[in-house]
A and B are shown apart, each in its own frame.
Chain A
């Protein structure tokens, strides 16, 4: 019940296309869902995060869509660029808890020039 399932494992998108990464969770106590971007040899960097009281959040080319009833959330990268090529991790946590995150397994995105 503590798992966060992430798909796809890898993704190849043409430059200018839309990249979509999906995550699903079981624990309804989760109330905070961040996405992280990680480049090789670097630590993860927070991209965007959402709380379950909203269904969508947009920051620049990055959008999170959240479906509370389906217990799913997804990251959309619009106008994908080669510089977006990285590994993306979704996560879930309980805000009133220990700050502990449950991470998805990661998606390796490659954007072709």
Chain B
């Protein structure tokens, strides 16, 4: 149980375009989901906390207009990277909270060319 999926697993986009990443909790309902960014050989950096039906809470230094988060239902949160630039290339990971735990998705590798 407690499976979280992400789609796509990897994506390449051109500079200036937008890309959407989906995070789904497959077998449980998650009122809270999190979005992380991870650079090579580094820890997970929390970008934002997403609560179903309300606006996301962004961590300090994260541009909310660039990283749009929508938590439309208890099983789906989306992260849209708008007007992507090469420096946005990274590994993006979501997690869904249930009963104290966070369950992580497999991650999405974004490359902006």
Where the two chains meet, the residues of A that have a C-beta atom closer than 8 Å to any C-beta of B are 32, 34, 36, 41-46, 49, 89, 93, 95, 98-101, 103-106, 108
Would A41 and B43 count as touching, CB distance under 8 A? no
Q: Does B54 contact A (CB under 8 A)?
A: no
Would A43 and B105 count as touching, CB distance under 8 A? yes
Would B102 and A101 count as touching, CB distance under 8 A? yes
Binds A, one of B14-22, B76-84, B93-101: B93-101
Which one of B6, B46, B93 lies within 8 Å of A44 (CB-CB)? B93
- Chain A hits for B34, CB < 8 A: 99-100
Query: Once the chains are docked, how many angstroms separate the CA of A55 from the CA of B69?
Result: 39
Return A1 CB to nearest CB of chain B, in Å: 16
Residue of A nearest to B30 (CB): A99
Q: A43-B93, A106-B42 are in contact. Are A99 and B106 (CB under 8 A)?
A: no
Q: A44-B44, A106-B42, A106-B43 are in contact. Are A98 and B100 (CB under 8 A)?
A: no
Would B100 and A44 count as touching, CB distance under 8 A? no
Where the two chains meet, the residues of B that have a C-beta atom closer than 8 Å to any C-beta of A are 4, 6, 32, 34, 41-44, 46, 49, 91, 93, 95, 97, 100-107, 109
Number of A-B contacts (CB under 8 A): 51
Return A22 CB to nearest CB of chain B, in Å: 15
Query: Once the chains are docked, how many angstroms separate the CA of A43 from the CA of B93?
Result: 7
Most chain A beta-carbon neighbours within 10 Å: one of B4, B32, B100, B105:
B100
- Chain B hits for A32, CB < 8 A: 100
Would A44 and B109 count as touching, CB distance under 8 A? no
- Chain A hits for B91, CB < 8 A: 41
Would A95 and B100 count as touching, CB distance under 8 A? yes
Residue of A nearest to B96 (CB): A99
Would B102 and A99 count as touching, CB distance under 8 A? yes
- Chain B hits for A36, CB < 8 A: 104
- Chain B hits for A46, CB < 8 A: 101-104
Residue of B nearest to A106 (CB): B43
- Chain B hits for A41, CB < 8 A: 91, 107, 109
- Chain B hits for A105, CB < 8 A: 42-43
